[in-house]
Chains A and B, each alone.
Chain A
Amino acid sequence: MLSGILMSAAFVAYVMYLDYSIRSQFEGKRWSIPARVYARPLELYPGKQISADQFENELLILAYRKIKLPKRAGHYWRDGGRFYVVTRDFIFWDSPEVSVPMRVSIRDNHVISMNHAKNGDSLPLVRLDPATIGRIWPSHSEDRVLVQLDEIPQTLKKALVLVEDRNFFSHKGISVRSIFRAFLANLRAGGTVQGGSTLTQQLVKNFFLSNERTLWRKFNEAIMALLLEYHYEKEEILEAYINEIYLGQDGRRAIHGFGLASRFYFDKSLKNLDTHEVALLVAMVKGASYYSPRRYVKRAMDRRNLVIQILSEQGEISEKEALLAKARGLGVTQRAKSGITSYPAFMDLVRRQLKRDYREQDLNSEGLQVFTTLDPIVQTESEKALVKRVNQLAKSRDTEEAILQSASVVVSIESGEVLSMIGGRNPRFAGFNRALDAVRPVGSLVKPAVYLTALSRPDQYTLATLIDDSPLTLQLESGEEWTPENFDKKSHGLVPLYQALANSYNVSTARLGMDVGLPEIIKTFKRLGVERQVKPYPSMLLGAVALSPWEIAQVYHTLATGGFRTPLRAITAVLTAKGEPLQRYPLSIQQVLDTAPVYLVNYAMRIAARHGTGRAVYNVLPNDLVIASKTGTSNDLRDSWFAGFAGDKLGVVWLGMDNNEPTGLTGASGALRVWADTFKNIDIAPSVESIPQNIEMVDIDVKTGLRGGFRCKENVELPFIMGSAPVEVSSCSERFGGTMKWLKELF
């Protein structure tokens, strides 16, 4: 008796638990009004760098109409470099922007003048309305194309019910009749054509994606299906089903819902699908990979025709329609397209930052407005540069198994705002986001951290300090021996520290790194913004550390700002549907490194770009542009990296294969080219160099690392932290050189 009561109590508690979990799933996945995501608004002011074409392109992205006599907001006219624009009203969180008719004149890639079209007043600053770059459901990690009941084609609803669950509108969640009917139908057809579970059960199954086929799971599913039916209307359940059901796989991305599937397979919106296309999607419900129309054409075709047959038998379509539909091909596009947003990689970043930084309940509110930092001009130019160059490099490198892939990130230096992000060679393709998720060995990109650690001790190391590049063998903790080699397999003897970095010598870097200490270098990594755990193995000195392009961007950003860390941000503010600010990401900085040693490392990276491993950038970019850069190449030429900054922008580019096969490209022959093409096309505001107060310039004789005497021919001017420059003057005489040689031979 007592045990009976206990059993029932436990059962009730269990059902209540199931009720809670299924309801939170259902409510959590209900699709409401999506958040609207905006690009950065274009700020226009006299002196702004922008070309007339870029400006017109921005207007087109904003859907301004070209009209000879612009009168209304959203109209414009262009005559060469002269524009007449009537801007639109827009309410930004910090202040409203009122529509203004204006004349803008652009010459030599600069805004020359901006005047009010009516009264002629010169305008100091006009902020255009921001472009909408996508709509997302921020609390969900997958992208979806939501469809609401009234947008769902009748054929789809009918076909689903007919094929998957005939009694859907009458049963209470589970249906013995359905199971029986399916059994009969399958017998008649001599195979499985119908499943026994109701749409409701299938929905439950999709909520808790698990493939185990146990009785216990079936039992749970049945109870939850009953509970769902108890709480919600049939139509609500059908809507959820249509937006939830699994319909395919795109790499790591699961395709959920008919809306997204329609885009994915046909590159069309759901409401524009023809009968044979709807039938194919319905056919795939039974097993999206088994009936994949891209892989198993025959299988998919047979089942699609079966669905058409059922529709015709039940009188939903005429026999003639059925015949025509059956005669059609599958109609799927060759390559999967996302079509949801033009900037899938950047949107991915936005989604992740929202999820990381905002409360779940805030993100669930309807109709949020998300203001981001994406600069459509920079994004477009980066895409053009990357696609063109990578296609060119890929010609001899693409194989059956893998194609040459690439990713890039461009960031504005002082504000730490992400201007563009590309996740793969096809920037429209919403698949694996390599900019964030390709975690690959970074090669020599780690070197600046090694040198920065050394240069932070000005009493020990300066840019002129001679370091030893002669062969080196290290005893590892494991007892093994490690002999780092230079890329050119040569030994360069004693080299000034700046040259070792500029030419990316491995042996001298390894020796320097061991001298300053691995734990110290790891500390520098952390300060620069690496959050990943880095193990203190000597091989890390030459780049055995694996990081993503995004993480590299963070590290080099801290260098580019002179030691002020700013978490890179893609979002500036989030507003509720009513326009009230929810939260915002202000510009925040923290000084994590002394400015002077950072200046020294950046100076060496400038020499790397001018005369060292990065010098090919100047084949493309103008000589007067000051660039600081570093190339990176991983073992066996598997990864080609380039990180560099110039003026107000920083860029990181990676090239490699998804299956980690060698590409035959070094940092300089691969990623550098993409970077240079990118920076050639985007506007870089030249900035006045800010030299830290405690830095002085001193002439150095490269050979000896001493102060350059008047007789020295190889003098180089280098920056030093005050008091750290060598004092002894090199005589540059034969005798002295002889002494050095003698000294070296002694060791």
Chain B
Amino acid sequence: MNACLLKEGDLGQQHRLASLFAASRLIVNGIKETYRFVIAAVIVVVMVGCASTPETPPISAPDIANAEIDDSIRRPVPVYEFPENEPDAAKEGLHAEQDRILRSPGYSNESTSTSRTILALLDRASQQEKLGRPERAAAALERALRIEPKNARLWHRLAVIRFEQGQYVQAESLAAKSSALAAGDWHLKQKNAEIIQQVQQRRAYLR
């Protein structure tokens, strides 16, 4: 046990030194990050045709350390679906925006040879959602994910469907997954952060 104790002391020394340097590096990194973000933001504005200046993405991440392990994820779910009479106008708008994101150039982060396939499945998902069949829409997205498993936008799209179905825990995890794969796609990360934030607000409200 002796050796262990001494090693800890050794580490402590290292880290005291480290924290001094880390502080200065943080500032430099901060400047770098802001610079990169501004460029990314400009690109997003041009691409999406959004007029307003985007804000810094809110730092919303699921509270992993304290989260209970969710056993419901291993249970199958019923698929009985009831078509809605009138598609919700607001939802229509939301879907239109989702589609716009997904269709924007560079949506596919893998080989472009499969992009037409993914688009065909996305069309299917949208159609099914308009018909009020979210499980079938989700199934189309799962098919797309089998083809492009690391496509952050597909994961995001699935998160939105789960959110609308009221499956908030799923929505939160799927959004986090999307962000984990989104690399430099700030706009998408922001959208995911919004979902996570809404789920967390809901949770706080319920408490």
Contacts and interface: CB of A to CB of B under 8 A. Distances in A.
Most buried by A among B14, B65, B75, B177: B177
A747 B3 contact: yes
Interface residues of A, number: 67
A727 B18 contact: yes
B51 interface: no
B79 A584 contact: yes
A590 B69 contact: yes
B31 interface: no
A38 interface: no
Contacts of A459: 15
Interface stretch (A40-48, A65-73, A222-230, A252-260): A40-48
B22 A727 contact: yes
A152 interface: no
Could you say which of A414, A470, A515, A571 has the most chain B C-beta atoms within 10 Å of its C-beta?
A414
Contacts of A722: 29
Given A690-B180, A727-B25, A467 B173 contact: no
A510 to B, nearest CB: 11
B53 interface: no
Interface stretch (A13-21, A154-162, A561-569): A561-569
Contacts of A413: 149
A583 B10 CA distance: 57
Interface in A554-609: 562-567, 571, 573-574, 581-595
Interface string B152-185: 0000001000000000011011101100110100
A591 B4 contact: no
B73 A589 contact: yes
A153 interface: no
Contacts of A380: none
A666 interface: no
Contacts of B72: 588
A382 to B, nearest CB: 19
A125 interface: yes
A584 B6 CA distance: 55
Given A413-B149, A692-B180, A567 B76 contact: no
A415 B177 CA distance: 12
B14 A726 contact: yes
Contacts of A573: 79
A405 interface: no
Interface string B10-25: 1100110110111001
A124 B117 CA distance: 5
B117 A45 contact: yes
A747 B113 contact: no
Interface stretch (B84-92, B95-103, B134-142): B134-142
Contacts of B143: 43
B190 interface: no
Contacts of A593: 64
Contact of B121 (A93, A125, A472): A125
A589 B177 contact: yes
Given A94-B140, A511-B3, A591-B176, A43 B183 contact: no
A592 B109 contact: no
Contact of B117 (A125, A465, A564): A125
A591 B62 contact: yes
A564 B7 contact: no
B124 interface: yes
B6, B117, B176 interface centre (most CB from chain A within 10 Å)? B117
A468 B7 contact: yes
A723 B22 contact: yes
Interface in A13-40: none
Nearest to B2: A747
B158 to A, nearest CB: 7
Interface string A458-482: 0110000101101010000000000
Nearest to B123: A124
A46 to B, nearest CB: 6
Nearest to A470: B3
Contact of A124 (B6, B119, B173): B119
Given A47-B113, A564-B177, A728 B18 contact: yes
Contacts of A586: 76-77, 135, 138-139, 142
A470 B3 CA distance: 9
Interface string B66-81: 0101101111111110
A412 interface: yes
A472 B3 contact: yes
Contacts of B121: 125
Contacts of B25: 723, 727
A50 interface: no
A533 to B, nearest CB: 15
B207 interface: no
Nearest to B111: A47
Given A94-B140, A583-B78, A589-B177, A415 B145 contact: yes
Given A584-B79, A590-B70, A46 B4 contact: no
B173 A591 contact: yes
B130 interface: no
Interface string A512-529: 001100000000001100
A80 B163 CA distance: 48
A472 B124 CA distance: 61
B120 interface: yes
A472 B150 CA distance: 44
A590 B169 contact: yes
Contacts of B147: 43, 45, 48
Given A585-B76, A591-B64, A727-B22, A564 B6 contact: no
Contacts of B73: 565-567, 588-590
A358 interface: yes
B106 to A, nearest CB: 13
B173 A584 contact: no
Contacts of B120: 124-125
Contacts of B20: 727
Contacts of A527: 69
A687 interface: yes
A94 B136 contact: yes
Question: Of residues B17, B114, B158, which shows the largest number of chain A Cβ atoms within 10 Å of its Cβ?
Answer: B114
B6 A414 contact: no
A43 B146 CA distance: 9
Nearest to A723: B22
Contacts of A511: 3-4
B170 A589 contact: yes
Interface in B28-67: 29, 62, 64-65, 67
A563 B62 CA distance: 12
A595 B179 CA distance: 11
A467 B11 CA distance: 10
B117 to A, nearest CB: 4
B204 interface: no
Given A587-B142, A723-B26, A46 B113 contact: yes
Q: Which 3 A-B pairs have the closest CB atoms?
A: A727-B21, A47-B113, A414-B149
Interface of B: 2-4, 6-8, 10-11, 14-15, 17-18, 20-22, 25-26, 29, 62, 64-65, 67, 69-70, 72-80, 109-111, 113-114, 116-117, 119-121, 124, 128, 135-136, 138-140, 142-143, 145-147, 149-150, 158, 169-170, 172-174, 176-177, 180-181, 183
18 contacts: A46-B114, A47-B113, A93-B79, A357-B75, A413-B149, A414-B149, A460-B11, A460-B15, A470-B3, A511-B4, A564-B177, A584-B76, A589-B170, A590-B67, A594-B65, A685-B149, A723-B26, A728-B18
Given A48-B147, A415-B146, 4 more contacts: A459-B15, A589-B177, A727-B20, A747-B3
